[in-house]
Structure 1
Amino acid sequence: MRRFTVLCGGYIVSMTGTALTSFALTVWIYLETGSTIQFAIGFILSLLPAIALSPFAGALVDRWDRRTVMLAGDTVGVCTSLSLAVLAGLDVLEPWHIFVTITVRSALGAFLVPALNASVTQLAPRSQLGRANGMVMTATAVSQTVAPALGGLLIVAIGLPGILAIDCATFLLNIAILLRLRIPRPTPSEDGPAGIFGEIREGWHHLATRRGLVPLLCFYAALNLAVGFVDVLFTPLVIGMASVTALGAVLTAGGVGMFLGGATMAAWGGPPKRIHGIAGLAVPLGFFLCLGALRPSIALVAVAAFGFQFCSMIIDGTSRSVLQTEVEPGMQGRAFAAFNMITNTVLFTGYMLAGPVSERIFEPLLRPDGALADTVGRVIGVGAGRGSAFLILLLGVAVLIVARLAYFSRDLRALRDDVPLTAPAAADAAPKQRADAAGSSSGREPAARP
């Protein structure tokens, strides 16, 4: 566990530098162009390359040394930050330079995320996987909480080149840590398929035929669709009832919830019955969504943001622990990549649909003269942002329904941190059981499995 703690220490420093840079670059784009379209382009480019490359990245992560993958990613990170710093210092920086950087970093993320997640099982004892994932998420929460607070001050004090220099320094520190750290390589499969496409197919098949993983994937994808809508609708919801200052206060409350959720997961490790850390925490998460949309109150929204982020961190940590427990180490790069590809695609769909659905359908319903102003509007209010609030309220109810459906899944209910469900799904297991029974009835031993 000591080596994992060292790795996590480097990760938190590197992530904080990266978050500072992301904040500064988005502010720079908006200040320089004044265009929300340019801002949205950067947002889309931060997701699409990672989604497209995930299958190949997962297969290569399982082939390559995972420490080398992380070292290569940090090295490219240094180069991109240094290049942008030089361009900004010479006053020739253009938005397309930043778009190229965002694309490159998104592509690297397709490799780095499964490499880091798969390294957890190689460095942390199996009994400590929940706590280890909590430490990773706490590091992420710290970086995302600190970056907005520091970024606004630093961009005025030292400018964009100075922030990019800090990012370079954090990458170099993490490289130094990785060079002194040994991450064991999992034992490769001797009878695996040849070629990268065969390995990709094997990873998808492995994910699809393991008990508990398919219902977990469906649950997490449904949750991510709701999260995608909420991420986009959150800002107009708050600004519609208050000010940008209030938005900052609510975001701070959400950041505190992220930090405490990750810290709780790190100290606790999650419940032994994984269903309670997945579907069980989705119940209060759905209630917090409903609470934040119920009335135009900043206090309610701040409480809802805190609770939503707190529950999300434990659900995320528990889901990672399930994958790390149920998938053998040599297959985890592909499993995490396939899982991330599907859930991030659903998240991206939420991002794309949230604006049009809210503006064209729900906002007109809750204008002072809207169709629902005299019914739903009497409860949640009318005016700017209340249509988004009504949509978030419905999403909260949908999350509660999804949590209830998850408890109906026998495979999800059977997930435990001490008993992995290594057997394939029943559809694949049945032919083998019949073959074993035939072998026994004929007096012969069943053929040994490789």
Structure 2
Amino acid sequence: MKTLNKQKPFYLFLILWIGALINTIGSGLTTFVLTVSIYQETHSTFLMSLVAIIGLFPRIICSPLAGALVDQYDRRLLLILGDGFSGLGVILIYFQLKSHSPVSQHLFLVLLGLTISAIFSSMTVPALKASISDILTQDQYAQAASMLQINDSATYLISPILASFLLRYMPLTQILLIDCLTIIVTLICTYLVKVSIRSHHTIETHSINTWFYLKEGNRYLKNHPNVLLLIVYLSLITFFIGFIQVLITPVLIDMAGPQVYGTVLTIAASGMLVFGIYISIRPIQKHYLKIVFISLIFAGPMIMLIGMINHIVIITCFAFLLFGSLVFTNVSLDYLIRVNVSNEYLGRVLGWAFNISQFAYLLSYISAGLLADHYFNPLLVNNGPLASSIGKIFGTGPSRGTALLISLAGILLILATIIGTQNKRLTTLKEQ
């Protein structure tokens, strides 16, 4: 395995990060307008969640293979191919909706377009994360990881309020075209980094195929149970976090409408930006696992209170604190995986980590939508079975059963965190 002879300046990572940030904003625009349109047309939490489910499923199937490719080929080239071909799905959706007919009438083809985008973009996550180890030194890992958290927050920070504004002045199809333009900008940024890094990871012999790399990543995790356990624990956390990601949409839309929903989501996600900038300036230096547990113990009650409170301003404040606490969780987990895995296996392990954690998201999205529609919402409608008891706390009406489900997810997250603090394998992970 051949690596870079010397580390490139930090500005190369900045270029790569800016391109990914712009692409994230564009994708977030498409996701927001499609999610809101489907829910307003169908009033089904499950059908609305299909946007997230279809976006995740191909990535779950493809991410281990993508991780193997990342260790085998030029990581910047894979970023270019993944981002470029993902635009084909957006174009398909555009042509289906350009007649301005309801999204729900073309639901199958819309989901097909999202599937195409997800398949090709699946290689970008491990490629981008693995590129950090190519470009930066170990003492810059936490700073880079926190910046990627800012990138992730753009889906909730910039895209919702921008999409809400754009929907007032242009049809959904023109917003899809904006997404396509952001992909072009991302390709240019990635290409600039690619030509600046002449050396890249190459395999020692080209007779070793991608399937071998895929199996080696699986074998590495089996031989390093501490790393595997960390990934499984991460997946358990993402399962509960996934509930609020899906269920907060119908709660806020029914409470205040899509315009306010976009604003609340933006303010809440600014918590990721604020704390992400803080960690970029003052990176975490030690006690990474302890920080994971503390931030999750804090996040659990925030989720629980978001479900219980029926006041938009208070919900916004709790959501701000929730998003901020998750920055510490994600940065610390990213660092722990990175320092406990050899660089030559990093792409494969990140691919499997993404696969396992995203599968937890998928289960969360499916179960959250079905539970909300068929079990919890009927409990807290007017004159529902729990309207006279729990309804005095959560209120009654549309989506109040969904709010109850959010609170239960918060309680379960607290219990899962407490269990994690007692696990000896987790507490013996290397932190330097």
Match status 1:137 vs 2:149: yes
Deviations 1:40-97 (A, max 9, x none): 5444321211111122222122111111101112332455555666776688996555
* TM-aligned CA distance change 1:60 to 1:362, over 3 Å: same
Match status 1:73 vs 2:72: no
* TM-aligned CA distance change 1:189 to 1:407, over 3 Å: farther
In 2: Cα distance, 1:38 partner to 1:226 partner: 20
Aligned twin of 1:58: 67
* TM-aligned CA distance change 1:385 to 1:149, over 3 Å: closer
Task: State TM-score, norm by structure 2.
Answer: 0.84
Aligned twin of 1:171: 183
Alignment of 1:205-284 (within 5 A): 205-210=219-224, 212-239=226-253, 242-244=256-258, 246-284=260-298
C-alpha contact 2:38 2:48 (8 A) present in aligned 1: yes
The percent identity for this pair of structures is 25
* TM-aligned CA distance change 1:159 to 1:385, over 3 Å: closer
C-alpha contact 1:274 1:415 (8 A) present in aligned 2: no
SS at match of 1:272: coil
C-alpha contact 1:56 1:196 (8 A) present in aligned 2: yes
Alignment of 1:35-434 (within 5 A): 39-81=48-90, 97-160=109-172, 162-181=174-193, 182-183=196-197, 184-186=199-201, 188=203, 194-210=208-224, 212-239=226-253, 242-244=256-258, 246-366=260-380, 372=386, 376-415=390-429, 417=431, 419=432
Superposed displacement of residue 24, structure 1: 4.3
* TM-aligned CA distance change 1:310 to 1:373, over 3 Å: same
SS at match of 1:7: helix
Deviations 1:161-212 (A, max 9, x none): 543443343322222222222445346467x995433322221221233253
In 1: Cα distance, 2:352 partner to 2:378 partner: 39
In 2: Cα distance, 1:349 partner to 1:8 partner: 30
Query: Which structure 2 residue ranges, 5 or more long, are not aligned?
Result: 1-9
Which letter does structure 1 place at the counterpart of 2:364?
A: G
C-alpha contact 2:92 2:113 (8 A) present in aligned 1: no
Task: State TM-score, norm by structure 1.
Answer: 0.81
In 1: Cα distance, 2:328 partner to 2:238 partner: 14
Which letter does structure 2 place at the counterpart of 1:142?
A: A
Query: Which structure 1 residue ranges, 5 or more long, are not aligned?
Result: 420-450
Match status 1:15 vs 2:24: yes
C-alpha contact 1:274 1:416 (8 A) present in aligned 2: no
Question: Which of the pair has more CA radius of gyration?
Answer: 1
In 1: Cα distance, 2:177 partner to 2:381 partner: 48
Deviations 1:357-400 (A, max 9, x none): 23444345445655555654454445544433333222222211
Superposed displacement of residue 132, structure 1: 0.1
Which letter does structure 2 place at the counterpart of 1:185?
A: H
- Give the count of matched residue pairs: 416
C-alpha contact 2:88 2:113 (8 A) present in aligned 1: no
SS at match of 1:185: coil
In 1: Cα distance, 2:238 partner to 2:116 partner: 24
Superposed displacement of residue 217, structure 1: 1.8
Deviations 1:393-438 (A, max 9, x none): 2222221121122222234334454x2xxxxxxxxxxxxxxxxxxx
Superposed displacement of residue 350, structure 1: 1.2
In 1: Cα distance, 2:255 partner to 2:190 partner: 47
* TM-aligned CA distance change 1:167 to 1:122, over 3 Å: same
* TM-aligned CA distance change 1:384 to 1:262, over 3 Å: same
SS at match of 2:122: helix
In 1: Cα distance, 2:187 partner to 2:387 partner: 57
In 2: Cα distance, 1:156 partner to 1:416 partner: 51
Aligned twin of 2:5: none
* TM-aligned CA distance change 1:252 to 1:6, over 3 Å: closer
C-alpha contact 2:82 2:122 (8 A) present in aligned 1: no
Aligned twin of 2:3: none
Aligned twin of 1:435: none
